[in-house]
Amino acid sequence: MDARNLDTELHKLLARLELMAGRMRRLQEENRGLRAQIEQMGSERAQLIARQEQARSRVEAMIGRLKSLEQHT
């Protein structure tokens, strides 16, 4: 292999490495974004569970009051 062919092959290899590095950076960015979404969704889920528990408590309290009213009538 002569120097010109070697130089051409090295340039091709460098171009492929730069392309792969760019893809890697984009994937890292996407990964960070997805992790942020997962964290946000986890937080939203926790809030929804808390609201559900509050609603359940209120409904149970209403049922208790209704049963109490029933027994007194």
Tens of pLDDT along 23-33? Answer: 999 999 999 99
DSSP state of 25: H
For the chain, which residues make up each domain, given as ranges? Answer: 1-73
Q: What is the number of alpha carbons within 13 Å of residue 9 lying toward its C-beta? A: 6
Instruction: Give the model's confidence band at 9: pLDDT under 50 very low, under 70 low, under 90 confident, else very high.
Output: very high
Residue with tokens 């760019």: 22
* Main-chain dihedrals φ then ψ at residue 63, nearest 5 degrees: -60, -40
Token pair belonging to 53: 């528990």
Give the mean model confidence (pLDDT) for residues 1-5: 84
pLDDT for the residue 2: 85
CB-based contacts of 9, cutoff 8 Å, min separation 6: 1
Q: What pLDDT digit, counting tens, does each position of 32-73 carry?
A: 999 999 999 999 999 999 999 999 999 999 999 999 998 987
